[in-house]
Amino acid sequence: MYHQIKSILGLFLSSVTQLKSDAVKYLLYSGLLAALVFTSIIYLTWKFAGAAGDKIAEWIPWAWAHESMVFSFIVGVTVIVLVFMLMKYILLILMSPLLSIVSEKAEKHMTGIIGGAGFSFTRSASRSVRINLRNLVKESVFTILLLIVGLVPGINIIVLPLIFIVQAYFTGFGIMDFYLERHFTFGQTIPMVYKNKWAAITLGMIFMTLFFIPVVGVIVAPYFTTVTGTRYLISNSEKIK
C-alpha cells in the first residue's frame, strides 16, 4: 500500500518537473482535446439540468420530500456525483486513442522500445469502451449502494470519502489501461490492476483533484496521469505480473 502510493506520487511529481520539450506538443494536444470535451459536457449538463431536475421531482411522490432541505441536499449530491462520473468516463473514452499514443511515447522514452502490440486506433478505442463501460457499471453500483447507506444517520459522514475512493480506483484503472492494453488481455488486466489498487486509487485521486483546478487542471490531468501510470507500470513490471 505505502510503496504504491509513494511511487505514484513521486513519479507524478517527476513527470511534471521533468517535462521534455518534445513532449510539450502531446501535452497541448491532449489538453486542448480535454478542454473541448469538458466544456461540451458542462454546457450540455447546464442546458439540460433544469429539465432533469423537474423530471426527478415528478418521480418523487412524497410532498414532504419537496420541502425537505436534507432530501434536496442528498438529491443534489447524487446528481453531482453521477454527472462527474459520466463526465470522466466520456472523457477517457473519447481521448483513449490520443492518450494511448502518449503512453506509447512515454514507454519508448523509458525503455527505448515500444513493447507489446503497438498502437492501433481501432483496438485502443474499442478496448477503452469495453474497459470504461465495465468500470462505469461497477462504479455506479458501488456509488448507489454507498448513497443509500448515506441515508443512515451517523454513517453518512464517511460516505463521501468512500465514494471518492471508489471513483478514484476506477478512474485510475482506466488511465493505467492506456499502457496495459498493449501488453495484456482484458482478462489479465482486471486482477493486475486490483493487485495494484492503491496505485490506481492514488492515480485516480490525482486526476480527480486536478479536475477541480479551473482550466489548467482539465488541460494537464489526462497527460500527466497517463505518463505517471505508464512509468509506474514499467518500473514495477516484474511485480505486476
Give me the pLDDT at residue 119, please. 62
Q: Is the pTM of this model over 0.95?
A: no
Residue 14 grid coordinates: 517527476
Neighbours of 36 (CB within 10 A): 12
Give me the pLDDT at residue 48, please. 64
Q: Is residue 239 a contact partner of residue 114, using CB atoms and an 8 Å limit?
A: no
Q: Work out the angle between the directed axes of helices 69-111 and 24-59 (0-180°, nearest 10).
A: 160
Give me the pLDDT at residue 64, please. 47
* CB neighbour class for 38 (10 Å; exposed up to 12, middle 13-18, buried from 19): buried
In tens, the pLDDT along 161-190 reads 998 999 999 999 999 999 998 888 888 999
Sequence ranges of the domains in the chain: 22-240
Distance CA 2, CA 198 (A): 8
Indicate the DSSP class of residue 156: G
Residue 115 grid coordinates: 513493447
In tens, the pLDDT along 40-95 reads 777 776 666 555 555 555 655 555 445 555 555 666 666 676 777 777 888 888 88
Report whether pLDDT(241) > 50: yes
CB neighbour list of residue 2: distance below 8 Å, 6 or more residues apart? none
Question: Rg for the chain (alpha carbons), in Å?
Answer: 19
What is the four-CA torsion angle of 90, 123, 229, 20, rounded to 10 degrees? -100
